[in-house]
């Protein structure tokens, strides 16, 4: 097929608008086939080589099953940088960029601080902060060895100086370190509502998405326990939270007695971000 015929084939197979289908097709041409998408307009009779034909058809079949485009091209833009992603890590979301921006806005000085990103996944949060707040000593921590491999890829690709450690939030932190800032986007989706979420989310790691079915605030308690022992005086915790459990989250805070609690709405108008000061 030529490039126009392939574009029209994508349009006929994907259950999306022509505009969205064309966007997907152009991304795949550029990222996987090294073909300039301008050829669609400038060389409509450009023939797709057999090896690229196979790549495009394989990708199309995945897209039909709601497989995320970001996993197909192993790339997601976040806070101005392209991060490598695969099925071992969550695909970074725009609301998480707002959490990163909050930390940067609060710390846009030359102060040296230690920050730990708990449940780092792809490393997008901690690496983005480290590249902006260059005086920060940033540690990425995750239980998943596969996720830590992705962190290392992104550390190298983006020339970041973050430290990377394996750590399970359900266990005692044995390293003799104190931190000024804790940041985390922990698993917080309600597993009982998993059938209501978008189909493409089913391809993302459940361990990074869902809280324990009988304890939706489990990881927030673990983070606060961690902070009790490993957060410096006058430290802060920045969290992404589930807006559904705001009341329960506030109840949890009673035990830990932060000096200040500041909620923020994300760009969708949902109360999803919070900063705790101790």
The pLDDT tens digits for 246-269 are 999 999 999 898 889 999 999 999
**Full-prediction pTM beyond 0.85?**
yes
Task: State pLDDT tens for residues 95-144.
Answer: 999 999 999 999 988 889 999 999 999 999 999 999 999 999 999 999 99
Distance (Å, whole) CA 46 – CA 38? 11
CA dihedral sign of residues 42, 44, 47, 48 = positive
Higher pLDDT, 47 or 278: 47
For CA atoms 187, 190, 194, 199, the dihedral sign is negative
State the pLDDT at residue 132: 94
- In our burial notation (b when 16+ CB lie closer than 10 A, e otherwise), range 36-56 reads ebebbeeeeeeebeeebeebb
- Residue pLDDT, tens place only, 182-221: 999 998 876 666 666 666 678 888 888 887 777 889 999 9
Cβ-based burial of 231 (10 A; exposed 0-12, middle 13-18, buried ≥19)? buried
Cβ atoms 89, 205 nearer than 8 A: yes
Contact 190, 216 (CB under 8 A): yes
Work out the percent of the chain whose per-residue pLDDT is above 90. Answer: 83
Q: Within 10 Å of residue 233's Cβ, how many Cβ atoms?
A: 7
Please state which of the four CATH numbers 3.40.50.150, 3.40.50.300, 3.40.228.10, 3.50.50.60 is assigned to the domain occupying 79-277: 3.40.50.150
pLDDT of res. 13: 96
Structure tokens at 161: 């100086």
Q: Answer for the pair 53, 1: CB distance below 8 angstroms, yes or no.
A: yes
pLDDT value of position 122: 97
Scan for tokens 């007695």, then name that residue. Answer: 257
Among 162, 262, 154, 144, smallest CA distance to 204 is for 144
* Separation of alpha carbons 113 and 134, rounded Å: 10
- Please answer whether residues 231 and 238 qualify as being in contact, where contact means their C-beta atoms are separated by less than 8 angstroms: no
How far is 196 from 156, CA to CA, in rounded Å? 37
Range among 151-155, 190-194, 231-235 with highest mean pLDDT value:
151-155
How many Å apart are CA 109 and CA 133, to the nearest integer? 8
Give the distance between the most distant pair of CA atoms in the chain.
68
Q: Provide the 3-class DSSP secondary structure of residue 13.
A: helix
CA distance 83 to 213: 30
Provide φ and ψ at 52, rounded to 5°. -75, -30
User: Which tokens in the block code for residue 254?
Assistant: 């009673």
Write down the H helix ranges in 107-245: 124-132, 145-157, 206-209, 218-230
Q: For 12-16, what is the mean pLDDT?
A: 95
């Amino acid at each position: 097929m030529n490039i126009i015929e392939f574009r029209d084939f994508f349009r006929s197979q994907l259950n999306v608008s022509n505009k969205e289908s064309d966007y997907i097709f152009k991304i795949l041409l550029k990222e996987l086939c090294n073909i300039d998408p301008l050829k669609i307009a400038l060389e409509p009779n450009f023939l797709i080589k057999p090896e690229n034909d196979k790549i495009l058809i394989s990708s199309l079949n995945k897209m039909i099953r709601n497989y995320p485009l970001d996993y197909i091209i192993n790339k997601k833009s976040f806070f101005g940088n392209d991060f490598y992603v695969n099925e071992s890590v969550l695909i970074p979301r725009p609301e998480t960029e707002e959490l990163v921006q909050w930390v940067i806005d609060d710390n846009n000085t030359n102060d040296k601080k230690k920050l730990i990103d708990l449940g780092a996944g792809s490393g997008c949060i901690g690496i983005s902060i480290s590249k902006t707040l260059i005086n920060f000593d940033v540690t990425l921590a995750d239980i998943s060895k596969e996720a830590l491999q992705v962190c290392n890829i992104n550390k190298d690709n983006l020339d970041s100086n973050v430290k990377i450690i394996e750590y399970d939030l359900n266990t005692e932190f044995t390293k003799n370190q104190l931190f000024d800032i804790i940041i985390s986007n922990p698993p917080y989706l309600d597993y009982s509502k998993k059938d209501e979420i978008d189909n493409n989310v089913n391809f993302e790691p459940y361990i990074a998405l869902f809280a324990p079915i009988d304890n939706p605030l489990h990881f927030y308690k673990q983070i606060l326990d961690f902070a009790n022992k490993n957060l410096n005086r006058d430290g802060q915790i920045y969290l992404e939270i589930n807006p559904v459990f705001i009341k329960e989250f506030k109840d949890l805070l009673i035990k830990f007695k932060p000096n200040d609690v500041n909620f923020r709405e994300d760009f969708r108008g949902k109360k999803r971000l919070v900063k705790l000061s101790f």
